A and B are shown apart, each in its own frame.
Chain A
Amino acid sequence: MSYVDAGYSIGLGVLFLYAVGLFLRRRSLERAVELSPPPGPLDGPTETGSASGP
């Protein structure tokens, strides 16, 4: 392998791997946000008054 081949392989290879990593990180976080429960249940204790005094 020549120095030119090595330079292009390392330069573009690392950028490609980093881009894939970014893509996967974003997708997993998007799924986590989509599957997370809504803030509604948090109002539960207040509505029922089960956990707080007057």
Chain B
Amino acid sequence: MSAPAETVTVVRRPRWLRVVGVLALVSTAATVWLGLWVTPPDAVQHDLVRLVYLHPPIAWVALYLAFGLSALASLLYLWRRTRSMFWDRLAAASVEVGVVFNALTLATGMIWGRPTWGVWWTWDARLTSTALLLVLFLGYLALRRVPADPEVRARRCAVAALIAFVDVPIVHFSVIWWQTLHQGATVLNANLSPTIHGSMAWTLLLGFIALTLVFVWMVGVRYQIEVLADRTGAERLEVSLAERWAEGDLDTPAAGGNGHGIGTTGSPVRPPTRVGQ
């Protein structure tokens, strides 16, 4: 038997992810500094405008980046030519991060809405469709926890992500399609001419960049967790099977397997047939 020192598996962390993490931290700190201490108060909203440097970038990450990426990855998983567990893991990672950002979109919006509109919540089209989006993607995360073969789970979740994504354009156009309390787009409006200028515009732009970097770092780490969890899950199964083989309870690995209880797609195969006494 080999020595324990020889059995250690080295798990590598990509260097680019560390760089993105540092850039995310620095740019977020710069956004907070500019947003809270450098930019002037607004003529109408006064200091409340400072929440604008945080709320739209968070919403941008949740709606367009996270759920957009999850829909794209799900589509690529469902397409036979590009089908790979990479896309399934990427979609899962993106949805989890997106749900956090979606919840924060609602929370920061409510904190801004209370002094501006006089209420924490109203059944406005934008707010309601955003809340519905959160519920839909929470459903996606619940679906991932339903025990199933990895490929069946991936297929189910890909379809669920695409169905949930239908709500994203509804959220985006809700302020145009219906008369809402929520204001229209400041940057991505119909004329593509931002209605914010000077240091306020630059701070808002930096906020978008900072939160995008935060998202990339989080999805990168969450993707690694997905890979590691799959590996440890498979390894637990291997150890369990090995123990049973050692005890003589099980026959040798079934023909067609790779001898480790893992199929060619990375999914656990059925345990070998029990031998008679």
Q: Please determine whether chains A and B interact with each other in the same assembly.
A: yes
Residues of chain A whose beta carbon lies under 8 Å from any beta carbon of chain B: 2-4, 6-8, 10-12, 14-15, 18-19, 22-23, 25-26, 29-30, 32-46, 50-53
Chain B interface size, as a band, is 35 or more
Residues of chain B whose beta carbon lies under 8 Å from any beta carbon of chain A: 1-2, 7-11, 28, 32, 35-36, 47-48, 50-51, 54-55, 58, 100, 103-104, 107-108, 111-112, 114-115, 214, 217-218, 221-222, 224-225, 228-229, 231-232, 235, 238-239, 241-242, 245-246, 248, 250-253, 259-261, 275
Complex CA distance for A6 and B221, rounded to whole angstroms? 28
Query: Across the interface, do B245 and A30 meet the contact criterion of CB distance under 8 Å?
Result: no
Query: Across the interface, do A36 and B232 meet the contact criterion of CB distance under 8 Å?
Result: yes
Query: Across the interface, do B100 and A14 meet the contact criterion of CB distance under 8 Å?
Result: yes
Query: Across the interface, do B235 and A36 meet the contact criterion of CB distance under 8 Å?
Result: yes
Query: Across the interface, do A50 and B36 meet the contact criterion of CB distance under 8 Å?
Result: no
Q: Which residue of B lies closest to A31 (CB)?
A: B11
Query: Across the interface, do B9 and A40 meet the contact criterion of CB distance under 8 Å?
Result: no
A selection of 29 A-B contacts at a CB cut-off of 8 Å is: A3-B48, A3-B115, A4-B48, A7-B111, A8-B35, A10-B107, A12-B32, A15-B214, A19-B217, A22-B218, A22-B225, A26-B221, A32-B228, A33-B232, A34-B8, A34-B9, A38-B9, A40-B2, A40-B7, A41-B246, A42-B238, A43-B259, A44-B242, A45-B245, A51-B245, A51-B246, A51-B252, A52-B251, A53-B275
